[in-house]
Structures are given as C-alpha cells and as structure tokens.
Amino acid sequence: MDATVPMTPTQRLRSIFSGSVGNLVEWYDWYAYSAFAIYFAPHFFPKGDTTAQLMDTAAVFAVGFLMRPVGGWLMGLYADRHGRKAALMLSVLLMCAGSLLIAVAPGYDRIGLAAPALLVFARLLQGLSVGGEYGTSATYLSEMAHSRHRGFWSSFQYVTLVMGQLIALALLVLLQRALLTEDQLHDWGWRIPFVVGALCAVTALYLRRGMQETESFATARNTRDRQQRGSLRVLMQHPREVLTVIGLTMGGTLSFYTFTTYPQKFLVNTGGFSKADATLISAASLFVFMLLQPVVGALSDRTGRRPILIAFGVLGTLFTYTILSGIATASTVLNAFAWVMSGLLIVSGYTSINAVVKAELFPAHIRALGVGLPYALTVSLFGGTAEYLALWFKQIGHESYFYVYVTACVAVSLLVYVSMRDTKHHSRIDRDHESRDTVDANAPLRERTPA
C-alpha cells in the first residue's frame, strides 16, 4: 500500500479484525496440544506407563516453547524486511501445517520412531509460528490503530490469546461430555481439534490476504534504512529499548503464567480441589480476565501507559504473596475464584498494554524484531519455567519460595516502569506518521534522537 494513500476507517477495522482472528487461531492451536495431550500421548510413543508418555509429550511441548525465540527472530526479520502482512500470513501458514501434520500423523505402532519425530517437527513449526506471531501482531495492531485508541485495539492481542485457550478447553469438554466416548477420544477423537485448527488457520489465512499493510512500514520501506531493516546489527543500536522490553516483560510474563496456566494444577495439588472444580475456576477466571483487557487498554489511552504498568508493579509486589497463599488455603470454589481473579485483575495492568508499549519503543524499520526477539527470550526464560519452578519448590518442601520469586521479579519490573518514559506521549509510531507527512518518499530519513 502506498504510504501517501490513507486508509479508510472500514479498511482499518477490517485489518485489525483479520489480525486479531489470526492471533486467536494461532493460540487455539498452541493450547490444543496441551489440552489433548493425555489422549494422543499413547499414539506417538512406545507403550509404557501413562506418566512416562505424558512426560515425553511434555518434552515435545518444551521443544516448541524453546523455538519461540527463534520464531521471534526469524519472523521479526521477515516482517521488518517484507512487511507485517507477509509475516502474519506466513505465521498462520506454519501453524496450519503443524496442526495438519499432527492430525494425520501415523502412530508409533505403524512407523516406529518416525512418529515422535513427526510430532517434534510439527511442534517446531508451531513454535516458530507462535514465536513470530507475538512480535508481528503486536507491531501490526499497534501501527494499524489510531493513536487515540491504540491501547484499546492492541489489547485485543491478549483477548484473542485467552479466547484461543478457552476455545480449546471448551472443545475438549464438548467432546468429553457430549460427542465421544473415552475410547473414541483415545482412538481417533484427539485428531479432531487439530483438524479444526488447520481449517481455522486456512480461514485466517484467507482473511489476512485482505489486510492492508501498515503506513509505518510503507514509510520505512522508502528510507535510508532500506538495506538495514530487520537485522540484529541494527537492533543492537537500540540497547536501551531492548533492555526495557526484557525488564518490563520479566515480571509480567511470570505473573501471567502463574495466574493463567498454573492455577489448575495449583488448586488440585495444593488447594485440594477436584479436577472438575479446578477447571471450572480456571475457565471462569480466564473468561473475566479476557473481558478486562480492552477495558484496561482503553484506560491507558486516557491515563497513559506508564501509570497502568506502575499500578501492576506496585500491586503485584505488595499482594502476590498474599494472593498465592490465599489460593493455597481457599476452602470453597467461590473463595478460590476470588483469589485467582484478584491475581488476574492485577496482571491485566501488564497484559492489556505490554504489546503497544513495546511497539511504541522502536522505529518502524526494526520494530517487529525489536518487539518479538527480546520478548520471546524473556518469556522462554521466565514464563516457560514458571510452572516447573512452582512444582519444584513444592517438591522440596518450600512452596512459599515461589511466591517470593514471583514477587521479586515483579519488583524488578517495577523499577523499569518507574524509570521509563511514557510511550503514549513519546511514541515512535507517531514519529513514523510525522515522517510520512513531512519527508519525501525518496529523501533520506533523518533519524531523530530516541525517546
């Protein structure tokens, strides 16, 4: 799209919708693996005890998680060099291929070790896809939204992320309770969610074909940085921004995984709740959490990003220990829901706006890589290990140490929030638009001093 041709409101909204729907499909496929692992684990691994098979499946899940930084790097490079739209289409295509491969893969009893090898390959594709999706979609939604509503629209990245998780969980419950028997789920029913995911990915790919390229990328494409866009060497010219992304992500991603993916096990393992009650509490709290995202995102458009992040940092530092202790000792479903929801309410101060804050830190020619790579590395280090560390501290008899660990990480992020400038008022995305209006497309871009 020519940088001189402004988009109509309809084109802008259609592009935001297509980007959001694609993100939902990506995260549905990512979480479907975890939700249905108990059913397909015996299909891909040698016969043995269930625990060993699940551990093998979890190891493959971890491999996919470790691929996220690679995806953030490669897809960020691609997005900064060839456009946000092209990268988002490639991302959903990789996810479609991974899901379809899992859906049709023969079992261990038919092809031996090739079965787990296929599963690993499929998960590598999905890891690359979801690793690249975050940085590129965060960049796309932030660049596409009008500056007055950028926090609101970018918050839909986490709306669709959580919605994908809930849809995967809902499909599991539907298949378990209404459509299939336990034997059917083990025999062939576990393939259904991956077929659904592949079909949804094709739909998302079709929708993303109609997306408009962002004005920020169209402007950057014609600047002096054309030959340097999307390289690690250029990224290293922005060390403060990279360190800011790492610092503001550390406490936020750890808190996010602590209160979204870990509670189901925490409620059963420590709280003594049944699996059914734990699932109900988790699903209900995630649903409310999803609805909170655009509310807090819109609030940041009025108050600024920094006050919202500081509120998360202060409340997380003061109350994380108390909330986790409350979940551990909750005696009723309603009481446990209130404790989990308290944690998620605080975490919303991070999740709803972290994408737009990171996007507003970087100039357009390095934005997707700048958002995606340091974020993915930090998530793998802190978010990806959250559940393991929580269980390890419990195993050694010091479960409360995990509460202290989460609190400390949030406190470190709080120091970053306090020291950083408010990106709403010092946004590099707004500078992109100023450059488009004031600089001729063929003239060199005079890079301004970073905020």
pLDDT of residue 309: 95
Q: How far is the first Cα of the chain from the last one, in angstroms, to the nearest whole number? A: 28
For residues 124 and 63, the answer to whether their CB atoms sit within 8 Å is: yes
Evaluate whether residue 445 is within a structural domain.
no
pLDDT of residue 164: 87
Evaluate whether residue 2 is within a structural domain.
no
Q: How far apart are CA 90 and CA 84, in angstroms?
A: 10
pLDDT of residue 315: 97
Evaluate whether residue 450 is within a structural domain.
no
Nearest CA-CA partner of 351 in 257, 424, 252: 252
For residues 350 and 252, the answer to whether their CB atoms sit within 8 Å is: yes
Q: How far apart are CA 346 and CA 323, in angstroms?
A: 11
Domain containing 18: what range? Answer: 9-437
Evaluate whether residue 447 is within a structural domain.
no
From the first residue on, what is the mean pLDDT of each consecutive set of 10 residues in the chain (451 residues)? 54 72 78 76 70 58 73 79 80 85 86 82 83 77 76 84 86 82 84 88 79 68 54 74 90 91 81 81 91 93 92 96 93 93 95 88 79 85 81 84 95 94 77 51 42 34
Other beta carbons less than 10 A from residue 209's beta carbon = 10
In this structure, the dihedral spanned by the alpha carbons of residues 198, 203, 204 and 208, taken in order and rounded to 10 degrees, is 140
Which alpha helices (H) appear in 210-260, and where do they start and end? Answer: 215-220, 232-235, 239-260
Nearest CA-CA partner of 296 in 346, 352, 359: 352
Evaluate whether residue 296 is within a structural domain.
yes
Evaluate whether residue 18 is within a structural domain.
yes
For residues 87 and 398, the answer to whether their CB atoms sit within 8 Å is: no
Query: b/e map of 235-249 (b: 16 or more CB within 10 Å)?
Result: beebeebbebbbbbb
Q: How far apart are CA 7 and CA 5, in angstroms?
A: 7
Q: How many domains does the chain have?
A: 1
Evaluate whether residue 290 is within a structural domain.
yes
pLDDT of residue 48: 63
Evaluate whether residue 444 is within a structural domain.
no
CATH number at residue 62: 1.20.1250.20
Nearest CA-CA partner of 285 in 336, 319, 358: 336
Does the pTM of the predicted model rise above 0.75?
Answer: yes
pLDDT of residue 433: 52
H or E, element range at 181: none
Nearest CA-CA partner of 209 in 14, 4, 5, 27: 14
Q: How far apart are CA 189 and CA 166, in angstroms?
A: 19
- In degrees, to the nearest 5, what angle opens at C-alpha 409 toward C-alphas 404 and 414? 120
Q: Between 367-378 and 239-260, two packed helices, what is the crossing angle to 10 degrees? A: 50
Q: How far apart are CA 252 and CA 129, in angstroms?
A: 22
pLDDT of residue 232: 67
